[in-house]
Amino acid sequence: MDPQSGNGRIGQRLVCLTQTQSTNADAFQLAEEGAPEGTVVMADAQTAGKGRRGRVWSSPEGVNLYCSVLLRPLIMPHEAPQLTFLSAVAVARAIEKTTTLAPEIKWPNDVLITGRKVAGLLNEMSAETDGINFVILGIGVNLNMTADQFPDDLRHPATSLLLESGSKVVRTSFADIMLQELDTLYTDFLTFGFAPVRQEWQRRCNANGRRVVVCEAGTEVASGMFAGIDEDGALLLQTGKGTTERIVSGDVMVI
Ligand code: BTN
């Protein structure tokens, strides 16, 4: 099974904005208006950047990558979460190609450098029961953010590539490389399915060989040895009772 190079699908239409509320909201609207697969929306700043679980994504001007990619895959709605794993791997590959840092991925889809979050991904979709209309992959990467630009009330430690490496990242180069990697991964996904990206995601996961604890609203709901992810991207835990527990949501801590 040879990895494909991308076919230039992603980024064929590029919308660059100085400031917007949320590139995900813009891409969603463009998708509803019929924009083609591969349309990318990028902004210098977001005034209402959306994080997962209704959180705010801090999006100061001119320092980071805020981007949303419109895809129209012929897959079933329950398979859509698989696409977020593509974004995580694309971001990790782009970090490796543009810095000397060693990114890791934390389930479901945070990208970490030395345990601190450097990128977050927000997958949104429009679907019917029997198929997907479109998926928006929202990708936020802290590139050149300085310590004083992070909000005080962050729930988990966060960082930027600049803070970790001491060197500024050229935003356009990073975006270009990341989108090329995403294009390649998406072509592979359409050709070979989820298996290759799942394998690479697992190799890059911060929980390999480790015990993890899963919390919901601050309360521990499960714990066990990390045993990979399944075909739907659910987290698998080997429990002390010899069973495998399947986790579909929650905050994961490696212990
Ligand atoms: C998370 O909570 O980890 C997900 C953060 C996703 C942020 C990105 S920035 C570009 C895109 N537009 C948004 O409003 N959110 C995503």
| Average pLDDT of the residues in 227-254 | 91
pLDDT at 101 over 60: yes
With tokens 């891409």, the residue in question is 27
Question: What are the backbone angles phi and psi of residue 56, rounded to the nearest 5°?
Answer: -90, 140
Dist. CA 20 → ligand 1 center (Å): 13
Give per-residue pLDDT as tens, 32-73: 999 999 999 999 999 999 998 888 999 999 999 999 999 999
Dist. CA 70 → ligand 1 center (Å): 14
255: which 2 tokens?
Answer: 């212990």
pLDDT at 1 over 80: no
Pairing of β 110-113 and β 13-20: unpaired
| Average pLDDT of the residues in 219-238 | 93
pLDDT of residue 145: 95
pLDDT of residue 155: 66
Q: Is the CB of 81 under 6 A from ligand 1?
A: no
10: which 2 tokens?
Answer: 């992603």
Q: Is the peptide bond before 103 cis (omega within 30 degrees of 0)?
A: no
The share of the chain scoring above pLDDT 90, in percent, equals 80
Give per-residue pLDDT as tens, 126-155: 999 889 999 999 999 999 999 999 988 766
Q: Is the CB of 50 under 6 A from ligand 1?
A: yes
Ligand 1 pocket test, pick from 66, 69, 136, 137 with the greatest ligand atom count within 8 Å of Cβ, gives 66
Please check whether residue 41 is in contact with residue 15, taking contact to mean a CB–CB distance below 8 angstroms.
yes
pLDDT at 2 over 80: no
| Average pLDDT of the residues in 171-195 | 96
Dist. CA 52 → ligand 1 center (Å): 7
Residues paired with residue 68 on neighbouring β-strands, in sequence order: 41, 138
What pTM, to 2 d.p., does this model score?
0.94
pLDDT at 167 over 70: yes
Dist. CA 238 → ligand 1 center (Å): 31
Q: Is the CB of 204 under 6 A from ligand 1?
A: no
Q: Is the CB of 68 under 6 A from ligand 1?
A: yes
Q: Is the CB of 42 under 6 A from ligand 1?
A: no
How far apart (Å, rounded) are the C-alpha atoms in residues 190 and 131?
15
Q: Is the CB of 156 under 6 A from ligand 1?
A: no
pLDDT at 4 over 80: no
pLDDT of residue 6: 73
Q: Is the CB of 106 under 6 A from ligand 1?
A: no
Dist. CA 244 → ligand 1 center (Å): 31
